[in-house]
Chains A and B, each alone.
Chain A
């Protein structure tokens, strides 16, 4: 049981490039989400999904796209990278969308630097 896995661990991009951050979980969790972590800002929700084929925007969705074609995978796409997207990105999952009763399981994070 690998839990939540993320790739890559570290990435450097140039402004305007695109890339996909991968996230997978093997716990058959219904709910998956992406956060970004910035110094002094805590974690901010980018996008989330309550099940395969269903996604929705979080607090800071601009510049990011997501899709959920399977229960296991929830990739995050940066369409045209900007320096403001330099951050650490965490993927998380939980058994259901009822966050008030669930434990979130986090991946190890992807550190992204946009030059």
Chain B
């Protein structure tokens, strides 16, 4: 079945550091890939997505490229801010009717001033 594997956390960075959060996936079809972010005390919200191979999703300075050859969708940001402190979830949804969203376990990012 479909699955998403995220790197183990938590991650603690200093402000303006470079961020990479790894995500790899297993899927039987042609999935769309997503990054969702959960700020403290809130529900999840979509950060970015990519629907086909080599697509790059971007938002708020974050980027992720859909790599079919390595089945990966790593999240990057060149310079993190304290306000980026949150839990980040990688997710996929395979094509087909009634398709579901499969989430990774999430990783907590803390950015210190």
Which A residues have a C-beta under 8 Å from some C-beta of B? 4, 35, 40-45, 48, 50, 56, 58, 90, 92, 97-101, 103-109
Contact = CB atoms under 8 A, between A and B. Distances in A.
Interface of B: 31-32, 36, 41-46, 49, 51, 89, 93-101, 103-106
B100 A48 contact: yes
Contacts of B32: 99-101
Most-contacted residue by chain A among B32, B46, B101 (CB, 10 A): B101
B46 A42 contact: no
Given A42-B103, A100-B96, A108-B43, 17 more contacts: A40-B105, A42-B89, A42-B105, A43-B103, A44-B103, A45-B100, A90-B43, A92-B43, A92-B44, A97-B97, A98-B99, A100-B93, A100-B95, A103-B46, A104-B36, A104-B44, A106-B43
Main secondary structure of the interface of B (DSSP, over half): loop
Contacts of B94: 100
Given A100-B51, A106-B45, A58 B100 contact: yes
A97 B98 contact: yes
Contacts of B42: 108-109
Contacts of B100: 45, 48, 58, 99
A56 B93 CA distance: 17
Contact of B101 (A40, A41, A99, A105): A99
A100 B98 CA distance: 10
Nearest to B99: A99
Nearest to B44: A106
A35 B100 CA distance: 12
The 4 closest A-B CB pairs, nearest first, are A106-B43, A99-B93, A100-B32, A42-B105
